Every structure is written in structure tokens, then in C-alpha cells.
Amino acid sequence: MNQKKHSNELTHTENKLISLRISKPRNLKNDVLSGLTVALALIPEAIAFSFVAGVNPKVGLYAAFMMGLITAIFGGRPGMISGSTGAVAVIFAPLVAKVVEMGKVAGLSSEVILQDALGYLFSAVILMGLIQILFGVLKLGKFIRLVPHPVMLGFVNGLAIIIFQAQLSQFTVNGQILEMSSLITMCTLLTLTMLISIFLPKLTKAVPATLVGIVVVSVIGYFLNKFSPGSVRTVLDFVQDRDPSILTIAAGLPSFSLPTMPLSLEALKLIFPYAVLAAAVGLIESLMTLTLIDELTETRGHGNKECIGQGLANLVNGFFGGMGGCAMIGQSMINIRGGGRGRSSGISAAIFLLAFVSFGSSFIEMIPLAALVGVMFMVVIGTFEWSSLRLHGKIPLSDIIVITSVSIITVYVDLAIAVLVGIIMSALVFAWEHGKSIEAKKRVEDKKTIYDLKGPLFFGSVTSFKDLFSFKDDEDHVVIDFAESRIWDHSGIEALQNITERYQQYDKKLHLLNLSKECAVLLKRADSIVELSVIEDLEWHIVDDSLG
């Protein structure tokens, strides 16, 4: 009955995924138009994350451009968008703050302090990139396939909540909620953007609905500000709320330079922990997003290639003045839902972004925040797995707990920790449930007691395993057939050693049949008291490199 419920729920989840899938064929027009929409959505996020990291918005905009361009070309998931992200910004923010504090203690000028802080930041980003490249070269990206589905649901829901929370700051100025008139105007324009995004696809899918929503609301906002200056908050207003000294987001092309960090062991010790954590979080978020897009598009990305692409992008970031980043689930969802499937969608998004900040900044600065917030609210609605709210009673309680725990930890602690906790919880549940399933059929043939073992032998099942045998009553020769079993860990070996010694106490001989080659190697040290029969061509592999 439980299996039937679980099957029905899986079907429901699959139907939801089908409803999110885009029916548009892959073509250059869809990719370019979708890339244009993504570029507009990247700008406020890149600026916001720059302030989180404690650097100039140009650093975040450069990072968004380089991350998007390089991962689109060299990454393993066409259609996925990368840029400067909050997950990475939060990790590097303490590093920047620490270097600034060191400079103040040393009595350095503000210009020198800023240069030193950027030098340490860019060096950490370079190291982060090298670690990610190494991760891909070692073909470790394939292990993302082992993340349980409940962990994936919790990850998606947690990120949807984070995206929603990030938009709430747009409704405040200097920490205070907008005045009532401005708040009503913003909510009206926001709602209009969402309505266009919802209903326009029912009329035509020639252009992305989100792009049309941004354009329409921008035109309306322009005339409202003409008649009543300041009534509609724009991208430039958002920037100046946080730093009044910034007059424009205009920037030139990024240029090559070596980070100005001392080549010393102390400096390396300072940046190393931040680089490792950022590399881990960046890869986890990127590979989890890759897996989600695989499901939505019914295609297959390459995890190891994506690791190398992300690493290369961060490496270039460090030498060209970017703050680094990773895949962005929000912008990736905008791209996929807008019909962007090929690499040209990510490439065009990056190029449009650079063109906007280099040549069209005056137009971008006039875009109402309401339009971009409306787009991101649509992303939240499309990203959150609403079916997970109806799972109670339909799937095991343990899965509900995993989904909820991962979501909460993602929001309030850290993405990497959330995924790790979720995997550990799922593994422990798996161990407990499968530990109860080991069994054996006992028979006697030719004065031998034969146990046909069925089920995994590992730490969760050793107690049940030891209870299977009748040491005193069995024949002098006892055979355990592992044709339908497998020894998984050291606990299983110790359990086997234990029953061997128990049979020895009764002067009985134990024989093991049909062990895999790996099991035979593990039991090599016991060959003086245990007779082995190994099938030479029997091999077990958890994950193969082809999955990368």
C-alpha cells in the first residue's frame, strides 16, 4: 500500500515537472531573446551581492559577465546561467572585512586598504577556481547523482525561499519600508509584470513573456517618473540607497591584472579556508541546479565538465577583477522557461549584460525595480516544489523530515551544510530500513548446513545477521552463500569474523561462497580460518565515470 502511495506521488511530481517543461524547440532566436531577459535580471542581483561582499558593484557586474560567458562556453550544462551569487558573496564578505580591519589597524590609507582587500579577494577566487578544476579533473562531479530526491526537493524549496527573501529588500529604503504611495505603485507594477508573465504565453510564445513584462512596465515607469519624479523606484535608486557616492553603474571592459596579495604562507593561510568553502558551495549549488535543469528539459548535463567550467570561470574572474560566483537557479529558471536551451542563451546573456553596463547603462538605470522583482517572484513560484506541501501521509515520514530540514538549513545556515545534513539523514534512514531486511534460507545437504543469504551486510544489519545462525545445532561444515548478498563495510567483515570464531568454538568449519572480488580482498586477512569461493567476473560499482 505504501509503495502504491509513493508511486502515485512520484507520478504527481513527474506531472509537475512536465508542466514546467518548455515546449519550444531549441533555436537561436529563443536563446537570444531569453538571454536578453536573463541579462536584465542579472543586473540588480549582481549589484546587491557586490554590496554583500563589501565591494564596488562593478566587481559583481564583471563577475556576472565572466561567469556567464565562460560557463556557457566550457560548462557541462547548456541553458544553465552562472553569475555572481549570494552564496559565494556571503563566504567572501568576512575575508574582505578582515583585510579592511587589518589595514585600519596598520594605519593604511583608504585607497590602499581597498586595493589590499580586492587583492586578497581576487586571490581567493583564483584558488577557488583551481580547486573546482581539480574536482572536475578527478571526475568527482558524478557523485551529485547520489543526492537523494528528498534532499533535492529541500534544496529547491530552500533556494526559492532565499530568492523570495532577497526581493524584500527592494521594498525598503535605508531599512525603512517605502511610503504608502510608493509601495502601492511598486506593488501595482509588480503585479502587472506577473500578470503579463502568466497570461501572455496563452496568446503568443513568439517572445519571452518576462521580457515583454519588463519592457511594458519600464515604459509605464518612465512616464510616471516624468509626471511625478521619484514615484517609481529604479535600478539607480537601488544602488544609490546603498552607496550615495555611486552616480552610475556604467563600467568599461574588464582588464587583466595580477592580484596584489603578499606571496607569503600567512596570506595563503588566510584565504585558503574561504577558497575551499566557496569552491564547495559553488559546486554544490551548480551541480544541484544542473540536476534540476536535467529533469525540466529531459536532457543530460555533464557534472565533471561543469566543475571544470565553473573553475575556469572563477580562475579568470580572479585575474580580471570579478568576485567569482556559481550557477544561479533563479536566472537559470528564467532562461529555461523563456525557451533558452543552447549555449548561445548563456553567451548572449553575458554579452548583453556587458553591453548594458558599458554602453546602455542610462537605460538600465531607469528600469523599475518592480519589473525585476515581479520576474523574480515568478521564478519563486516556478521553482518551489508546491507538491512537497501535499506529501504528508503519502511518502515516508523520514522523507518529509529530510525535505523540511534541508529547506530550513538552506535558508538559515548554509547550502553546503544543508545538502550534507540531508545526505547523512537519508543514508542513516536507508541503513536502518535495509538493516532490517537481511534474511537467510537454511537447508541441510550432504551433512552441510547451508545459509542462502539475502540482503546487504553492513553496519545497519550486523545484529540481524548474527541472529540468523544456530552455532550449536548446525552441521560440522557450514556454508554461507553470498550470491544474493554483499559485504559493504568493515562492520560486515567484523560480523563475519565474529561468527567464524563462534563456529570455531564448536569445532566447525565455515565456508563462504559467491563472494565478489572486492569482498574477497576485504577478507584476505581471514583466509587462514575461512574458505573462500570467488566468482572472478563479479564486480560491484556504485557510480561509474560515464555518469559524470
218 close to 363: Cβ distance less than 8 angstroms: no
Domain boundary among 395, 426, 457: 426
The answer to whether residues 200 and 81 belong to one domain is: yes
What's CA 91's distance to the chain center, in Å?
Answer: 15
**Is 189 part of a structural domain of the chain?**
yes
**Residue range of the domain that includes 319:** 27-426
Cell of 251: 563600467
Same domain, 411 and 477: no
Q: Does residue 97 form part of some domain?
A: yes
For residues 401 and 459, membership in a common domain is answered with no
Q: The dihedral of CA 262, 263, 269, 272: what is its sign?
A: positive
- Rounded to 10 degrees, what is the CA torsion of 161, 163, 165, 166? 160
What residue ranges of the chain have pLDDT lower than 70? 1-26, 434-436, 517-548
Q: How far is CA 109 from CA 179, 228, 431, in A?
A: 39, 42, 58
Nearest alpha-carbon partner for 45 in 264, 239, 284, 263: 239
Clarify whether residues 353 and 492 are in a common domain.
no
Q: Does residue 353 fall inside a structural domain? A: yes
DSSP state of 205: -
- CA proximity to 92, closest of 130, 51, 62, 131: 51
Residue 436, φ and ψ in degrees, nearest 5: -90, -5
Phi, psi of 126 (to 5 degrees): -60, -45
Cβ(283)–Cβ(309) below 8 Å: no
Do 122 and 266 belong together in one domain?
yes
pLDDT digits (tens, 9 = 90+) for 88-145: 998 999 999 999 999 999 898 988 999 999 999 999 999 999 999 999 999 988 777 7
Rg (CA), the chain: 29
Query: Which pLDDT value is given to residue 271?
Result: 95
Predicted confidence at residue 459, as pLDDT, reads 79
Q: Is 400 exposed, middle or buried (0-12, 13-18, 19+ CB in 10 A)?
A: middle
382 in the same domain as 442: no
Structure-block grid coordinates of residue 280? 564547495
Do 141 and 217 sit in the same domain of this protein?
Answer: yes
Task: Give per-residue pLDDT as tens, 186-225.
Answer: 999 999 999 999 999 888 888 888 899 999 999 999 999 9
Residues 501 and 450 in one domain: yes
432 within domain boundaries: no
DSSP summary character for residue 339:
T
C-alpha distance across the termini of the chain, in Å: 36
User: Quick one: 230 and 143 in the same domain?
Assistant: yes
CA–CA separation, 371 vs 369, rounded Å? 5
Contact status, residue 127 vs residue 282, Cβ threshold 8 Å: no
The count of domains in the chain is 2
Picking from 293, 285, 389, the residue whose alpha carbon sits closest to that of residue 334 is 293
Q: Is residue 232 a contact partner of residue 88, using CB atoms and an 8 Å limit?
A: no
* 3-state percent helix, strand, coil for the chain, nearest multiple of 5: 65, 10, 25
Query: For residue 4, is it within any domain?
Result: no
Q: Quote the CA–CA distance of 535 and 136 in Å, as a whole number.
A: 34
Are 402 and 492 in a shared domain? no
Residues 409 and 447 in one domain: no
Domain-ending residue, one of 402, 426, 450? 426
Question: Does residue 447 form part of some domain?
Answer: yes
| Separation of alpha carbons 213 and 339, rounded Å | 16
pLDDT of residue 26: 67
Tell me the C-alpha distance between 282 and 82, whole Å: 10
User: Coil, helix or strand for 510?
Assistant: strand
For residue 197, count CB atoms less than 10 angstroms from its CB and return exposed for 0-12, middle for 13-18, buried for 19 or more.
buried
Query: What is the rounded distance in angstroms from the CA atom of residue 196 to the CA atom of residue 186?
Result: 15
Final residue before a domain boundary, out of 375, 401, 426: 426
Would residue 10 count as lying in a domain? Answer: no
What span, in angstroms and rounded, lies between the C-alpha atoms of 254 and 267? 25
Whether 289 and 242 map to the same domain: the answer is yes
Please report whether residue 16 resides in a domain.
Answer: no
| Helix (H), strand (E) at residue 456 | strand 448-457
In this prediction, residue 217 carries a pLDDT of 95
pTM for this structure?
Answer: 0.74
**Residue 389: count of CB within 10 angstroms of its CB:** 10
CATH of the domain at 505: 3.30.750.24
